[in-house]
Structure 1
Amino acid sequence: MRIAINGMGRIGRLLFRRLLHHQHIQIIAVNDIMPIESLAYLLQYDSVYGTFAEKVTIADNHIVVGDRSILYVQKADPLQLPWEALQVHTVLECSGMFSTAPLAGQHIQSGAKKVLLSTTGAGDIPLLIYGHNHVKDSSKLDIVSPGGCMTNCSTHILYLLQSIGIASAQINVLHSYTTRQELVDTWHKQPRRGRAAAESIIPVEVDLYQSLERLMPGLKDKVATLSIRVPVANGAMADFTVEMQRMVTPAEINNLFKHAAANEYRGVLDYTEEELVSLDVKGNTHSCLIDGSLTSVAGKQVKIIAWFDNEYGFTSRMIDWLELWSS
């Protein structure tokens, strides 16, 4: 499969690293507006995942790594991108700027066959979570949203709990700071996002509940969500407080997830009882890692904790999508 990456931010660059030598997927081109020297530097050196094992160099307008030479394009307008001439099958839309059907569709107009977003996207784009509803006519769709890292974590957990019965759920995701926050205090339309990310615990409004209601209409008006940004560069801990429709025990809840991790959710959801911290999940490929050691019950209320690498876990699902389409 011949692919291109549009937008070389955190997700775009990690996908580049992970897909560079993929057996069935070939990166043909990447597009961003930054200078090519800056991109080469950011691909070589990464504060979270370390220095890339191979040397990244520049030759004309190509990024060169080993025997691979990838065209670097600098176009702000997707309609000017050379996807047709390059015979690009799938564009990974990682800029975050083209997340509606008309905007993402510009990649199709430029010659690509499919577009996979790196975000939830607007309501006019199908929201398909890998491991949940990803087989739903996905081969016939031109543009797909695979959700975001928090949606991929939460969907599987709530879906499994629905087999018992959910009365209501509160989800609080303690999340590393992101590029949409600031290093020093400045103006932001969401004032808390404008506060120094490495100096405070910062509550951030998220639309996660809307995505979950789209995926599971039976949860409409039963789910509330919040993200708390904490001063770490990577990793997240999702805290679920769920009111069940009947009494349960921690053992019953843990067995539910343990069984799922070993069977139908293998590779997507995992289970552990080790005493982990966020750093321990760096590079973990799962959408969520249930921490059974922290499961607790009070009346019909269940507390569930799940870890995930917000970058590595999410890009793993994007790669799953590419492998599904390439097969």
Structure 2
Amino acid sequence: MRIAINGMGRIGRLLFRRLVHYPGIELVAVNDIMPADNLLYLLKYDSLFGPFAGELTLDEGSLVTGDKIVATFQEENPANINWGGWNVDVVLECSGRYTTMAGASEHLKSGARKVLLSTTGSPDIPLLIYGFNQHQLKDNIDIVSPGGCMTNCSTHIIYLLQSIGIESVHFNILHSYTSRQELVDTSHKQFRRGRAAAESIIPVEIDLVHSLERLFPLKDKIGTLSIRVPVTNGALVDVTAQMSMNTTAAEINQLFKNAASSTFREVLAYTEDPLVSADIKGNTHSAIIDGSLTSVVGRQVKLIAWFDNEYGYTSRMIDWLNYWKPILK
């Protein structure tokens, strides 16, 4: 499988690191408007995941590591890149700019066979969560949204709790700060996003409800809130679910423990260790259920889950590439 990455932000660069030597996948090109020498620097040195493993150099506009050569482009409009000429099977759209059907289709017009977003796209793009409804992929679907990191975590939790019965559910997601926030106070259309990210606990607006309502028949029964906290990585999901029947903390924990050891083992983990956010850096799961913090009052369940918002999410994107491999032979 031949792939390209459009947009070399946090997710794009982590995908580069994970895919450049990945068996059965050939990363042939990346595109970002930043100068190539700056891109090289950011790929070699990462404040969160450390130095690049191995040598990485820039040679005549291409990134070189071992026997791998990856072309670089600095095109603001990826439609100017001939993906077909590079025989690209899948473009990983990580710029955050081409998330509509029309925008993502520019990659197809340039010759790519498929496009995988790194976020939740517009409603006309199929929302397929790996481990939940990836089987709904059809041959004629060329653009896929795998959801965001919060969607992937929440989806599996809702699905499993539905086996008992949900009347309503609220997700409060304590999330590390991101590049969409500011280092110092400045103007922003969402006033709170303009405050210094490393100095405050900051509630921010998210569209997670719309994504989850596309996946589950729970219209007006889902609430979400994201609170950014001054850490560089990781997230904690605080779930409050009103159940339709009586249950116990032991029953809830057993439900998730069983799922994590069988059908959902690739996307879900279960632990009762006293974790903190630093402990989940580099974890590949979309949700790590913390059974030590599960509680039930009446029919109200309190459930806590962790996830690495970068490494866990890129793991699902890689799962999608592997899922597509037989189709694209």
State TM-score, norm by structure 2: 0.98
Verify: 1:224 aligned to 2:253, yes or no: no
**What is residue 283 of structure 2 aligned with on the other side?**
284
TM-superposed CA distance for 1:82, in Å, is 1.8
How many residues of Structure 1 are paired with residues of Structure 2 in the alignment? Answer: 326
Moved over 3 A (4+): none
CA distance in 2, matches of 1:78, 1:109: 10
RMSD after superposition: 0.7
> Match for residue 183 of structure 2?
183
Shift of 1:65: 1.2
Q: 1:90-141 CA distances to partner (integer Å, 9 max, x unpaired)? A: 0000000000000000000000000000000110100000000011034431
- Structure 1 CA distance, aligned partners of 2:235 and 2:319? 21
Q: Supply the distance in 2 between the matched residues of 1:188 and 1:119 (Cα, whole angstroms).
A: 22
Structure 2 residue 27 is the aligned partner of structure 1 residue 27: yes
The within-5 A match list for 1:91-110 is 91-110=91-110
- Code of the residue aligned with 1:72 in structure 2: it is T
SS of the counterpart of 1:135? Answer: helix
Partner of 1:235: 234
Q: Secondary structure at the match of 2:198?
A: coil
Q: Distance in 2 between matches of 1:326 and 1:137?
A: 13
Alignment of 1:136-147 (within 5 A): 136-147=136-147
**Aligned-partner Cα distance in 2 for 1:252–1:194:** 43
Q: Output the CA distance in 2 between the equivalents of 1:124 and 1:55.
A: 42
- State the match for 1:171 in structure 2: 171
Counterpart position of 2:39: 39
SS of the residue 2:305 aligns to:
strand
How big is the shift at 1:170? Answer: 1.0
TM-score with structure 1 setting the length? 0.99
* Conservation of the 8 A alpha-carbon contact between 1:89 and 1:112: yes
Structure 1 equivalent of residue 297 of structure 2: 298
Contact 1:139 1:325 in 2 (8 A): no
Q: Secondary structure at the match of 2:57?
A: strand
- Listed one character per residue, the Cα deviations across residues 161-181 of structure 1 (whole Å, up to 9, x for unaligned) are 011111111110000000000
Alpha carbons 2:83, 2:111 under 8 Å: kept = yes
Q: Which AA in structure 2 matches 1:135? A: H
Cα pair 1:90 1:114 within 8 Å, conserved: yes
Structure 2 residues without counterparts, runs of 5 or longer: none
Alignment-derived partner of residue 265 in structure 1: 264
Instruction: Tell me the equivalent position of 2:154.
Output: 154
Runs of at least 5 residues in structure 1 that lack an aligned partner in the other structure: none
Q: How high is the sequence identity, in percent, across the aligned residues?
A: 65
State the distance in 2 between where 1:264 and 1:107 align: 34
What amino acid is aligned across from residue 211 of structure 1 in structure 2?
A: S
